[in-house]
C-alpha cells in the first residue's frame, strides 16, 4: 500500500515538474517576444519621425501608431472594443505595411508575427513614405 502511495506521489511530482518547466519557458518566450516587439516599434517610430520612447508606454503607443499611419485618433476607441478591434488591428497593420512600401504578405507577417516583422521594418531598409491618409502629389498640368 505504501509503495502505491509512493508511486502516485512520485508521478504527481513528475507531472508538476513538467508543468513548471514548460510554463516557465512559455513565459520567457512571451517576455522575449514582447521586448523584441518594443525594440522594433521603437525603431519604426523613429523612422517615421515620432519619439521612439512612445513604444514603451501602453495605449499611447497605439495613438502614435495611428499617427504614423495617418488614421484618426478616434480609432483608438475602436481598438478597445472586443471583436471590432480585430478588424481595425488588421487594417492598422495593413496601413503600416503600406506606409513602409510593403505588400500584403508583409501585412500577414505583421499580424501573425508582429514582433519579428516590427524588427524587420525598424532595422531593415524600408523607408517611411507616409500613411494611408497622405495625399498623393497632384500631377503637373500638361
Buried b (16+ CB within 10 A) or exposed e, 22-42: eeeeeeeeeeeeeeebbbbbb
Please give the residue range of the domain that contains residue 109: 36-123
In a domain, 138, yes or no: no
How remote is the C-alpha of 129 from its chain's centroid? 20
First to last CA, the chain: 98
Q: Can you list the pairs that 102-108 forms with residues at least 24 positions away whose Cβ atoms lie under 8 Å?
A: 102/126
Angle among Cα 63, 86, 99 to the nearest 5 degrees reads 50
Q: What is the pLDDT of residue 136?
A: 42
In a domain, 8, yes or no: no
In a domain, 9, yes or no: no
In a domain, 27, yes or no: no
What average pLDDT is seen over the chain?
A: 82
Q: What is the pLDDT of residue 11?
A: 66
In a domain, 102, yes or no: yes
Q: Look at residue 14 and tell me whether its pLDDT is greater than 60.
A: yes
Question: What is the reported pTM?
Answer: 0.72
User: Structurally, how many domains does the chain consist of?
Assistant: 1
In a domain, 79, yes or no: yes
Q: What is the pLDDT of residue 25?
A: 77
Amino acid at each position: 500500500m505504501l509503495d502505491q502511495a509512493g508511486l502516485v506521489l512520485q508521478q504527481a511530482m513528475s507531472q508538476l515538474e513538467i508543468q513548471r518547466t514548460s510554463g516557465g519557458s512559455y513565459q520567457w518566450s512571451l517576455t522575449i517576444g514582447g521586448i523584441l516587439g518594443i525594440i522594433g516599434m521603437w525603431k519604426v517610430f523613429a523612422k517615421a519621425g515620432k519619439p521612439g520612447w512612445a513604444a514603451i508606454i501602453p495605449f499611447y503607443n497605439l495613438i502614435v501608431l495611428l499617427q504614423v499611419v495617418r488614421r484618426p485618433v478616434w480609432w483608438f476607441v475602436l481598438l478597445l472594443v472586443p471583436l471590432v478591434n480585430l478588424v481595425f488591428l488588421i487594417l492598422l497593420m495593413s496601413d503600416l505595411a503600406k506606409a513602409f512600401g510593403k505588400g500584403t504578405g508583409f501585412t500577414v507577417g505583421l499580424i501573425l508575427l508582429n514582433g519579428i516583422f516590427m524588427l524587420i521594418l525598424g532595422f531593415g531598409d524600408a523607408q517611411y513614405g507616409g500613411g494611408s491618409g497622405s495625399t498623393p502629389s497632384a500631377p503637373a498640368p500638361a
